Structure 1
Amino acid sequence: MVGASSGIGLGAAVALAEAGAKVTLAARSLDRLSPVAEALHDAGFQADVLELDIQDLEGTEQTIASREPFDVLVNSAGLARHGPALETTVADFDAVVGINLRGAYFLTRAVARKLIEAGKPGSLINISSQMAHVSGIDRVVYSATKHAIEGFTKGMAIEWGKHGIRVNTICPTFIRTPLTEQTLANPERVEWILSKIKLGRLGEIEDVMGPVTFLASDASAMITGTALMVDGGWTAG
């Protein structure tokens, strides 16, 4: 469970723990993970922690290789630096691509490699975005990375299907998390967002917990190479 210290990643960890999974909480800072693991333990769930920075490709490869294979990957690590395309800096571009695309790609590959070596099936899930299928104001770079995730998801699903490894994405709309606080503090942006969401409300972390459990379980055994939209109808029209 990468990016498990807050937001969607935390919600996903709770969802899978409630479904009976032993969850490994991974993020760059153990200081933020330890209280989460303790809370899960206190609730009677199984959880451990793993310090992991997916921007460090070599370190990620080594860490995953040193562990037992993970049956399920949920990667919720992400970065957004929104702004007009004409004002995009190279530094911001590289930072967003480094986590959202480069880091996600090599993390997914590392988990799959370990599963293949062990001869085990698995379900690999990257938290993408509705912006992987449309785009939005000031979201050119972010959208580009999420579109790219959809591309590598399809390619990996094709290559690894013979190993019983499923690769999918979940594509939420605007969910109330620390990542969206700045956007949701702007009344004009909220009005625009609500005009696009056909269900007429913002998403909550709980709206993603069910889809995570579904894709992680055998209930989705015939689903791979696809995107599960959790967008309230945004991309429908």
Structure 2
Amino acid sequence: MPTPDRNRDFEGRTALVTGAGKGIGRATVQLLVERGARVIAMSRTPADLQTLTQETGCETVCVNLADAAATSQAADAAQPVDLLVNCAGIVELRLFLDTSIEAFDTIMAVNVKAAMIVAQQCARSMIPRDVRGSIVNVSSLSATVGLPLHAAYCASKAALDALTRVMAVELGPHDIRVNSVNPVVTLTPMAEKAWSDPAKSAPMLERIPLNRFVQPLEVARTIAYLLSDDAAMISGVSLAVDGGFQAG
């Protein structure tokens, strides 16, 4: 069992986490609750939300983020929040020549458009309240590295990084910081779908100097750092969590 986190950086603050049912999002909810935050967990899967609230006491919102109107309504209803983690993401593995318009549109809708919509609603609530807000978009190393079978996914994460920079520039004057985290392969259920074949995962591991993939809690701790006052002058950054992948 991991040692309980004694840090209470987020006492008295409210955080909204999308994609909270599994993987990085779930680990982030658990960590933020441990550090004192009131957390609203957003996911499309009721069973995941039920077990998460039993484990952490978080509040929950069930919504399909591919539905823009429902996403906007849910994000608005969740206000007021002080911190946002846009963690929701999907992947569909197809060769570039086989990538369908429908798959591309769905991945962009969840991975980019939903992040924009939720962040808009949060920022619209933060600004009139003079909140020193912080937003973290969960991107990926694939924003800058072309991975076979990931055409739509790579495009979506590159778009999310670009969106992060614009948000940082425009929201900075309102004292709202915006950053992204860009992990290499993280051991989540979605990663199992993409990297369970040793023939595929072995070459990727060989390019990581620390010689392992990332654990969800390690990404969650990076997210918590960027949300916290310890990162008070960090904004517009895409922070790699890659074990040295990009150094090689």
What range describes the TM-score normalised by the shorter chain of this pair? over 0.9
Partner of 2:77: 66
Output the TM-score relative to the length of structure 1.
Answer: 0.93
Partners of 2:44 and 2:64 within 8 A in 1: yes
1:177 corresponds to which of 160, 168, 188: 188
Overall identity of the aligned pairs, in %: 33
Partners of 1:54 and 1:107 within 8 A in 2: no
SS at 2:18 equivalent: coil
Structure 2: gaps of 5 or more residues:
1-16
Matched, 1:110 2:126: no
> Offset of 1:120 from its aligned partner?
1.6
Partners of 1:134 and 1:235 within 8 A in 2: no
Partner of 2:6: none
- Number of equivalent positions: 232
SS at 1:228 equivalent: strand
Partners of 2:93 and 2:194 within 8 A in 1: no
Partner of 2:40: 24
Partner of 2:20: 4
Runs of 4+ displaced beyond 3 Å: none
Partner of 2:54: 38
1:199 corresponds to which of 199, 204, 210: 210
Matched, 1:123 2:134: yes
> Offset of 1:61 from its aligned partner?
2.2
Output the TM-score relative to the length of structure 2.
Answer: 0.89
1:217 corresponds to which of 208, 228, 244: 228
SS at 1:26 equivalent: strand
> For 1:111-159, what per-residue CA distance to the aligned partner results, in whole angstroms no more than 9, with x for missing partners?
1111113222211111100011222121121111101111111011100
Partners of 2:27 and 2:216 within 8 A in 1: yes
CA shift in 2, pair 1:23/1:89, >3 Å: same
Specify the code of the residue in structure 1 equivalent to 2:169: I
CA shift in 2, pair 1:154/1:162, >3 Å: same
CA distance in 2, matches of 1:63, 1:88: 30
CA distance in 2, matches of 1:92, 1:115: 34
> Offset of 1:53 from its aligned partner?
2.6
2:197 corresponds to which of 179, 186, 195: 186
> Offset of 1:54 from its aligned partner?
2.2
Specify the code of the residue in structure 1 equivalent to 2:61: L
Partners of 2:79 and 2:122 within 8 A in 1: no
2:148 corresponds to which of 119, 128, 137: 137
CA distance in 1, matches of 2:36, 2:89: 26
CA distance in 2, matches of 1:151, 1:24: 26
Structure 1: gaps of 5 or more residues:
42-46
